[in-house]
Amino acid sequence: MRGTGYQTVTVFAPATVANVACGFDVLGFALAQPGDELVATRRAEPGVVITAITGDGGRLPREATRNTAGVAARALLDATGAREGVALDLHKGLPLSSGLGGSAASAVAAVVAVDAVLGLGAPTDVLLRCALAGEQLASGSTHPDNVAPALLGGFVLARSADPPDLVRLPVPEGLACAIVHPHLEVETAAARRLLGDTVPLQAAIHQWANLGALVAGLFQSDLALIGRSLEDVVAEPKRAGLVPGFAAMKQAALEAGALGCSLSGSGPSLFALCATAAVAARVAPAMAAALARAAGVACDTWVSPVGPEGTRVTRASDAACAT
Amino acid sequence: MRGTGYQTVTVFAPATVANVACGFDVLGFALAQPGDELVATRRAEPGVVITAITGDGGRLPREATRNTAGVAARALLDATGAREGVALDLHKGLPLSSGLGGSAASAVAAVVAVDAVLGLGAPTDVLLRCALAGEQLASGSTHPDNVAPALLGGFVLARSADPPDLVRLPVPEGLACAIVHPHLEVETAAARRLLGDTVPLQAAIHQWANLGALVAGLFQSDLALIGRSLEDVVAEPKRAGLVPGFAAMKQAALEAGALGCSLSGSGPSLFALCATAAVAARVAPAMAAALARAAGVACDTWVSPVGPEGTRVTRASDAACAT
């Protein structure tokens, strides 16, 4: 598509689960659903305008310089020296502040859509860097543990954040996920402050043993090992209290057959990895019921395969360069 | 061999490198050489006697209850309810207190030899537990990061120490190691005290990102990724000062083409992983020369493939049960 592009491109960017129990700040995976949809239309005038946002209850800034997707798109235009501009329509399919990588999805959607609509052909590392610029605006974080799996799909380990050194990990066939999003809000910055600046050495050792074993389990499709490794002794013990009903939901997930269950990102959503979508389809309502019983809190649930694909163009119109 | 055994069995148990830069307390690998040799002879009288130890300069206790190999052998006799006993001849091929897993080698040699000579057929987890009992006597440590690779060969990750949850990792073809043992002693307990009880959260995150990436690199035979991941931001910065010339040796190793270089266990030995034995054969003398220049310290060096085999019987005599 380099050098030609389209008049209009629609992309889908999936939800992502960061941390994945033992991989705090370095590991994430993509779901197949839900996600954000973004429509980019080329404009002769340079720069970025946001023409519409739906699904956010009016809460996201419409000004491109203050919007995650707008900042990511602008970063890509600048990085590639593009002389045209774009108009963005963003349809939020992900709830805000849910711990499901919503701002990463919007940022990645923007860079993939702008790259495609203007035919920029930017390399992956440039797309990643520009999406991170947008993500940073929203969350203050420069960790690519949501952005990288949203862009690439599957499980992605970030050995290093800056410069990004990303390692794609295999997805065992059939691996699926139950997501429960309690109708609560957890402020990412507050969740991060709870962690403090140091960690007991023994807990850190425990955590890296689990992460090493989880990586091995993914390569070997060893579901039992994956299950034993999905244990967070660093962040979850401090953050679980932010989500009423956490323990009840986790217990319900494991009793219903999940391999493991923990906070998605900094919460309030929980994820439960499962051997199959059929197991995940039992796990999600069991978790929702436990949440209602234990804390009287309502929630949304999703059941999805781990998504091997990442963000992709779903529709492109007017392939001729119509400027 | 179960239920029959031999009159005499000789086993070889290899040196092991624990920690492997980013895998503090949880990862180790076996070399092909050097190692300890142990000869076990069956006796009608129950219990363990040590009949000879060579290669230790007379420093190891000869009393079986105070000797690593003796304690490990006794633990196995007890665990299996054996009614016969064994006499052990231990030939130390590994220098004492070198950081090359010498006590683990002796303990594993003892359990493998006793199991074979008496035809006990003990399962791997029992051999491991009994070897750990011997190792604990010597080092105070219950981490299986030396014992497990000495027993199983290759790279072994211990997801959990108690109960042991061991994950064998693949060895990329040709992967080799240069070992330099400076003629210094580092007390393991002192090296451990240097670490303190906590670690900065950011360093811990860095460490588990590296360990996850190292595991992925081993599965993918990605030597460049292995090299980038061989970085220890937790123990090495605190312990390197115990080994005069450490920085010069590490720099020499990397300049001579090593993938990575760090302390073996708590030192004083250093290991340098290399893509091939030919590279390792250049790296070892470069490190030795750097040590001599920087600190005026003499050393032994070894060059060995990463050993896929672990401890094995090399000779068995009088297959009939001669009691």
Q: Which residue of A has its CA nearest to B220?
A: A219
Using the predicted structure, report yes or no on whether residue A85 has a pLDDT greater than 80: yes
Angle in degrees, 0-180, between the axes of helices A68-80 and A102-117, rounded to the nearest 10: 40
Do residues B39 and B10 make contact, with C-beta atoms less than 8 angstroms apart? yes
CATH code where residue A275 lies? 3.30.70.890
Of B195, B198, B210, the CB nearest to A198: B198
Q: What is the mean pLDDT of chain A?
A: 94
Instruction: Specify the pLDDT at position A193.
Output: 87
Pull the structure tokens for residue B153.
């060969």
Question: Average pLDDT in the A55-75 region?
Answer: 94
Which ipTM score applies to this complex? Answer: 0.94
Mutate to test the interface with B, among A168, A208, A238, A239 (most CBs of B within 10 A): A208
CATH code where residue B19 lies? 3.30.230.10
Pull the structure tokens for residue A84.
């045209």
> Within an 8 Å CB–CB cutoff, is residue A225 touching chain B?
yes
Q: Give residue B290's domain range.
A: 176-305
Task: Work out the minimum CA distance from B211 to partner chain A, whole angstroms.
Answer: 6
On whether residue A41 sits in a domain, the answer given is yes
A157 contacts B205? CB cut-off 8 A: no
Specify whether A245 is located in the same domain as A151.
no
> Within an 8 Å CB–CB cutoff, is residue A196 touching chain B?
yes
* C-alpha pair distances (Å), A64 with each of A68, A120, A159, A318, B177: 8, 20, 31, 25, 54
Rounded to whole angstroms, the Cα distance separating B58 from B42 reads 25
DSSP alpha helix (H) spans, B12-153: 68-80, 102-117, 124-139, 147-152
A159 contacts B213? CB cut-off 8 A: yes
**Stretches in chain B below the pLDDT threshold 70:** 1-3, 319-323
Q: Chain A window 119-158: which residues touch B at a Cβ cutoff of 8 Å? A: 157-158
On whether residue B293 sits in a domain, the answer given is yes
A201 contacts B201? CB cut-off 8 A: no
Of A24, A205, A215, the CB nearest to B205: A24
Residues of B in contact with A214 (CB under 8 A): 212
Specify whether A120 is located in the same domain as A231.
no
A165 contacts B212? CB cut-off 8 A: no
Specify whether B163 is located in the same domain as B204.
no
Specify whether B155 is located in the same domain as B202.
no
Longest dimension (CA), chain B: 61
Mutate to test the interface with B, among A207, A211, A226 (most CBs of B within 10 A): A211
Residues of B in contact with A169 (CB under 8 A): 216
Beta bridge partners of B317: B8
- The string of pLDDT tens digits covering residues B273-285 is 999 999 999 999 9
What phi and psi values does residue B229 have, to the nearest 5 degrees? Answer: -85, -15
Q: CB B277: neighbour CB atoms within 10 A? A: 17
Sorted by sequence, the CB contacts under 8 Å of residue A193 that are 6+ apart come out as none
B201 contacts A198? CB cut-off 8 A: yes
Residues of B in contact with A24 (CB under 8 A): 205, 208
Of B25, B196, B209, the CB nearest to A205: B25
Instruction: Specify the pLDDT at position A186.
Output: 77
Instruction: Specify the pLDDT at position A188.
Output: 73
On whether residue B3 sits in a domain, the answer given is no
Specify whether A97 is located in the same domain as A58.
yes
Mutate to test the interface with B, among A201, A222, A223 (most CBs of B within 10 A): A201
* C-alpha pair distances (Å), B130 with each of A38, A212, B42, B68: 61, 25, 18, 10
Instruction: Specify the pLDDT at position A319.
Output: 54
Residues of A in contact with B219 (CB under 8 A): 215-216, 219
What phi and psi values does residue B220 have, to the nearest 5 degrees? Answer: -95, 0
Residues of B in contact with A225 (CB under 8 A): 159, 167
Rounded to whole angstroms, the Cα distance separating A290 from A267 reads 17
Instruction: Specify the pLDDT at position A318.
Output: 83
Q: Could you give the number of structural domains in chain A? A: 2
A199 contacts B24? CB cut-off 8 A: no
Q: Which residue of B has its CA nearest to A217?
A: B167
On whether residue B1 sits in a domain, the answer given is no
Q: Which residue of A has its CA nearest to B201?
A: A198
Specify whether A18 is located in the same domain as A142.
yes
Rounded to whole angstroms, the Cα distance separating A233 from A208 reads 10
Q: CB B10: neighbour CB atoms within 10 A? A: 21
Specify whether A104 is located in the same domain as A244.
no
> Within an 8 Å CB–CB cutoff, is residue B26 touching chain A?
yes
Q: Which residue of A has its CA nearest to B211?
A: A212
Specify whether B64 is located in the same domain as B194.
no
Rounded to whole angstroms, the Cα distance separating A142 from A157 reads 14
On whether residue A292 sits in a domain, the answer given is yes
B159 contacts A27? CB cut-off 8 A: no
Mutate to test the interface with A, among B141, B171, B211, B218 (most CBs of A within 10 A): B211
Residues of B in contact with A157 (CB under 8 A): 209, 212-213, 216
Pull the structure tokens for residue A249.
């939901």
On whether residue A165 sits in a domain, the answer given is yes
Specify whether A186 is located in the same domain as A110.
no
Residues of A in contact with B201 (CB under 8 A): 195-199, 234
Beta bridge partners of A263: A270
> Within an 8 Å CB–CB cutoff, is residue A221 touching chain B?
no
- The string of pLDDT tens digits covering residues A215-257 is 999 999 999 999 999 999 999 999 999 999 999 999 999 999 9
B157 contacts A209? CB cut-off 8 A: yes
Question: Average pLDDT in the A287-297 region?
Answer: 97
Specify whether A154 is located in the same domain as A96.
yes
Strand B270-274 vs strand B260-263: parallel, antiparallel, or unpaired? antiparallel
Classify each residue of A135-149 as buried b or exposed e, where b means 16 or more C-beta atoms within 10 Å of its C-beta. bbbbbebebbbbbbb
Rounded to whole angstroms, the Cα distance separating A152 from A149 reads 5
Q: Which residue of B has its CA nearest to A222?
A: B167
A-B CB pairs within 8 A amount to: 124
Q: What pTM was computed for the model?
A: 0.95
Instruction: Specify the pLDDT at position A322.
Output: 42
On whether residue B2 sits in a domain, the answer given is no
B24 contacts A212? CB cut-off 8 A: no
Specify whether A81 is located in the same domain as A188.
no
Of B26, B195, B205, the CB nearest to A212: B26
- The string of pLDDT tens digits covering residues A143-193 is 899 999 999 999 999 999 888 899 999 999 999 999 999 998 777 778 888
Residues of A in contact with B24 (CB under 8 A): 205, 208
Residues of B in contact with A234 (CB under 8 A): 201, 204
Burial class (CB in 10 A: 0-12, 13-18, 19+), B297: middle
On whether residue B322 sits in a domain, the answer given is no
B195 contacts A197? CB cut-off 8 A: no
> Within an 8 Å CB–CB cutoff, is residue A199 touching chain B?
yes
- The string of pLDDT tens digits covering residues A94-117 is 999 899 999 999 999 999 999 999
Specify whether B124 is located in the same domain as B70.
yes
Instruction: Specify the pLDDT at position B139.
Output: 74
Rounded to whole angstroms, the Cα distance separating A260 from A273 reads 6
Of A23, A159, A199, the CB nearest to B201: A199
